[in-house]
Structure 1
Amino acid sequence: MVIRKQLCSNCYLLFRPHTKCLSSATVESSFNDIETQIRSLCDKSSPRLEDALLLFNQAVEIHGLPSESTCDFLLQTFSQSRKYNMVINVYNKMKGIQVFRSFISLQVLIEFFLHSNNPDFSFGVLGTMVKCGFQVNTYCINVVLNGLCRNGDTSRAVKVFNEWCRGSVLPDVITFSTLMNRLCKEGRMGEAIDLFDDMKLKGINPDVITFTTLMNGLCINDRMREAMDLFDDMRLKGLNPNVLTYNTLMNGLCKEGRMGEAMYLFDDMKLKSLNPDVITYSALVNVFCKAGNFDEGKKLYDMMLEKGVEPNEFIYSSLLQYLCKMRRWEEASELFNVMSHRGIKPDLVIYNVLINGLCRDGRPMDAMRLVDLMAEKGEEANIITYNSLIDGFCKSGMVAEAIRVFETMTKGNNIKPDIVSYNSLAWGLCKNGKVDEAVRLCKEGHLKKAMEIHRGMNMREIFPFNILIHAHLKKGDVGEGMKLLKNGLEMGLVLDSHTYSALINGFCRLRMMNVAKGLLIHMTVRGILLAPHHYNTLLESLCKEGSLEEAKGFFLAMSKTDSKPDVLSFNIIIHATLRANDLQSAEQLFEKMLQMGVEPDVVTFSTLVNGIMKLEHWKEGKATIERMVTCGYGPTAVVYDSLLKGFLAMGEKEEIIGLLRRMAADGFRLNKEITDTILKCLCLFSEHDNVEEILPSFQQEVSKVI
């Protein structure tokens, strides 16, 4: 304030009225002093722009407008400092006394209109330039193009380019790069590449920014091979890629999961003495975590800390997402605290990662506490937060809590539920036997509203109906299920693969096998691709009702279709064959499974061992165990129990002792069922046997506490 008063005082002394007329030389000298002061106040080392504007305004009021060069100087200075309100102030003063037609003032005016989102006025200024006899130059066109592209007005930018740059204005590398960048962002790669070729035909050499711009567009549009070819072409022309170039390519490679090539570029970048920045590390850490290679991601995180590069929220989000997925909660908690200590405030994305992880781990109450903490920190939950909670509570059987969250979302927070919200809640209600409550959602119009949301997105969503149809048929209520199906069809919904799955599964449960078979035929007629699970439902039902021969015929027919039997198909038919005491056929099915390239799982081996031991073929049972281990599966409690019961039935005391010692050596923990079986096995031992010496020591299974 003191400075401003002093400036006002100086201004008054320079321009105060006198009783005697000043000589023209005196006035000119005084005016030169004020202009010098204005320029001094705009000095870049310690700019005082507001004071410069104040002095300018008072000079205009007392004496008149400073020289054209000073006015242009002020306009350029204010524009470069993005003080656009000051720009228009000076311009209006110039315009007021009709000294406003300098080329620089008009050029600055174009920038002002573009930065204030008034591009139409900038075109008017271009017209004024032409009327005043000024030659519109490349810089002016670049400013206009930059403003239009920044505001997303690509069509008008292309029009400006075609009108001016194919006429009186010679475009430069900035002109082409600016327009290419916008075209690439909109996926208009054909036009961007045409511009790139056009600039080379005009003898304008693309620079690193031009090449990087085009590479980025190619990467965004999944044209990675062309981007890498362009990278090689750039280097052949003697241009050195910068950090942005490497980041662009590494991000594209990471997007395609090509970690090896991305790391090659990372190493190449360092060899060229370019320092990776936070964007570089973000892309690499994210792709390693998504691929399940947390150790590599963590190694890069540690490396960036050593290099003094501060991690951002995205890096922490990637690391936390992996730790939550793998239920490594202690490490996740430690990393969350490290992030906070480093001054990075957790954002909504990070909170949602943790909340979703806790819900998936069956800990929705802990997730709810995190939502409360989030609210305390000033972060508001969004639809993703609420959907995670609804899904978590439903899957944990806490449907009442899920409904409470749903009501909080709809009533108190002005957040509209989406189709995911309705689907999760409908699934939870049906899964927990509350079908009537799920139907109530439909009757109250909530489900219909969800359908309207998806119609607005040009989508057809039948998933909620699939859930309810399945639930009604599971209850045995065919009438209600069919009524609901009819309602869906009347709403214009198209039956999908999941609808047929729900129907086939429901009718199989009701032992209406002919209806289920008819549905399979109907799917084929409609051209809906049949998957193994459609056949498996019917296959399992046939086996359960004892129609093994029909099931085998069905299995054989399935083998001749595009929907080849999967591991579940084989497990079903092998289990049924062993129940029919047909060990030879079961072993043949197992061999066929291997021949078809279907990898057996732990259920396959458990089924075989259990069936073989019941048929008292203990040597084959032991051989199957060894094969199971070779395939990378450790024997489960079910397998051990089957073996012990088999050895017990055959009176194989030595085999029991050997198996128990193997179990103890492998660190197997006893559960109640295994303990009961071992106690029965002890009946084989006589009173002369020292059981304490014979039996190994086991650890008891402990209860899991969340």
Structure 2
Amino acid sequence: MSIQKTLQNLKCIKKYGNLPTNTHRKVAEVVISYASKTTTNTETPAAVFSTLTSDTVRLVLSDRRIKTRECLSFFNVISENRSLIPFTIEIEHYVTLIHRAINSRKFEDAETLINSLANDGNLRYPFSDVVSLAESQGFDSRILSTLFNLMLKVYSDSGKFFAAFETFNYMRNNGITIDERTCGIYLTALLRCEHLGLGLVFFYKIVESGMDVSIVIDGLCQNGEIRRARQLVEAVCRSVEPNVITFNTLVNACCERKNLKELDLVLLLMEKQGVERNLETYKLIIDGFLSFGNLGGAERMIAEMHDKDFHVGIYLWNSIIHKYCKSGRMESAFQVFDEMLHRGAAPNAHTFHIMVSGICGIEKMEAAKELEKKIVRNEIELDHDIFSDLINGCCKKEKLDDIIDLLSTMEKKIDNLPSTSQVAYLKIAEVIISSATQISTATKTTAAILSTLTPNIVRLVLSNRRIKTGRCLSFFNIISENQSLIPFKIETEHYLTLICRTIKSFKFEDAETLINSLANEGNLRHPFSNVVSFAESQCLDPGILSKMFNLMLKVYTDSGKFVAAYETFSYMRNNAIAIDERTCFIYLIALLRCEHLVSGLVFFYKMVESGIDVSVYSLTVVVDRLCKNGEIKKARELIEAVCKNIEPNVITFNTLVDACCKRWNFKELDLVLLLMEKTGVELNLETHKFLVDGYLSSGKLGDAEKTIMKMHDKDLSVEIYLWNSIIFKYCKLRRMESAFQVFDKMLQRGVVPNAETFRIMVSGICGIGEMEAAKKLANKMQRKEIELGHDVFDDLINGCCKKGMLDDAVGLLSMMEKKGLFGDARLYNMVIVGLCELDRVEEASRLLSIVVKCGATPETSFIQFLANG
């Protein structure tokens, strides 16, 4: 619908009143759509807004077929452009949209609208108007409850306490559900603003309404108003008896916020009111004391719980023991442990774990071992955590014999532990890695740790997924650098285990470094057969397997181990392992660079037969190497053989064309061009240049001309130097007529000759002694504002001298001098000799002085001739 049609409909509505609902909807949709768009046309929006009416707005906001989000956007636009609409936004508009927002669960938007309704124009729409409209509209109870609770919150947030109180009373008197948390917000706002009297009245109202007082108190506490919450309880406790749940709410808030001073006051009020602490109260207080670091207070609470015959869970005792252990106060921990036993509480496995962990933390390993025996006597099974702490403590004290004993015990006692004993080995491995990677002057410790390693431990470290790949690499590098300290030789399995991990972690550079060590250390001490054996036994993921062997192929190539590289390639090919063409390309280039042409050719054919997606670049490098070796025919036949699998491109053929042209092998060149046509590869600019150069170098000037003509016909950019090359060849052969024919063709093709073109032509004309024609061409160059250079002047002067035109030669030398140029000394000497022969000694002397001034050395015979003259 166009803007003009929209305006017409709106004007009709304004003039005649209601139209069919569908028309209202369409008009409203266009208005909403247009109003929400950004436009540079300021007149049209004004025209649209000026035609709106209060009734149109109401119809838009109440139309259920228009989405609530669009209604909100529409209302925001007209609210921001009130000066353009011919009416005042009414309370009905607000309430209609608030109702829709609540119904669509857009509570934030509803609250924003209520805020505008309540605060715009200093409460321009009083609460009574809202009530009247809500009652007349017949809102359901859920909408009413949300609406008035939001109003209560908005009034509270904006400090309109009496309006909020009025809202609360209305809800209470009309049976509308009141949210205790909203009441908490109102009460908090009252107390913050020191309206204690009104706060008390409101609190009494809450109590009378039968609402849960604890939720209100909890709301105050969550807002950080613990002191005011306690004062409120204290103020109303004469008429309202707070229960233990109310006090627990206060206790919990004090403990969470570590407000010990307020906690004491709450407990004192609790005692004053005769409210007994229950189990939950004690738990909250103990947790609070533990978080405060008041361990003595926590102990007293537990003792009090025992005295009152409360059930004291073992976790409370464990919590206190854990705190003492964590702070290193093991003596106090043991005292609590003894008190626990005295009270008849039976320690569990976690209790012993905490104690063992604490003792190991202070590295009292003898005491830890005694406690271990005590655990066994109490028939408590040693779990992973206890073993881990004992092993960790032994590692810190470097008691490697004890580590081995613990490992042995652990394997016997824990039924579900895998045969590799990963948990224990993990702990040992972590300490070994940590010790080995630390910089320390105490080399004996490192040596002692490394001397306890076994091949199995190394394997378990490298294969343990809980140890990061980076740490495994560091560990492996250290044992590799200190092989004299370990009692075994690093095995192929160790390398390959870590290589697989690095590949899986995308650390390809590290994987390549490891493969390089594996392949080249000790003159291939780890042969390829060992690698194959490991790969087949491990059932590796195909992706990892492919990456590993491709990296091996690359490493063998880089290190010149071509036989091993070919063995790798053959294994991958025979076992259907994905081969990377790029890696094969690297191997192929390496073979060709090392003059292994036959091997390279065999490998290339194997690549094609293997079904690898061989790139044209691989084909091109083989062709290039064959051509450089003079095997042009073989290169062409290679292309013919593989062109069904690999599409040769113009670069491939240009390699052949260039080789044919340089070797003047035009018979093979014709076959190459025929093959290009057969495979549908077009000759490009570079191809034509090769052909022109080849024809020129071999004296086939006609073919060179034809090639240039074809280039023009194909709209290829024919550079001027190609024309110049042909003209130069004709001039050199003294075939000036042909040179001028080429020159004319060049002009016909719209090619503008440059200075070099004219220089070549002048030189050619001078070469056949046609000096008048040469001078005319030189004058033409000057008219075209082409500067005559040294070469042109040299050719003209030389020709004039040979023809006996000394005056012209002298004139040309003079012209050169005016241009700031100095001719070749040979030319000056030639002119001087001619002048001397005609007894024009004065002119010859002048030229001789120029030669001397310019630093050239004239011939002695000329000087003697002038002196004698």
- TM-score w.r.t. length of structure 2: 0.27
- TM-score w.r.t. length of structure 1: 0.33
Q: Larger Rg: 1 or 2?
A: 2
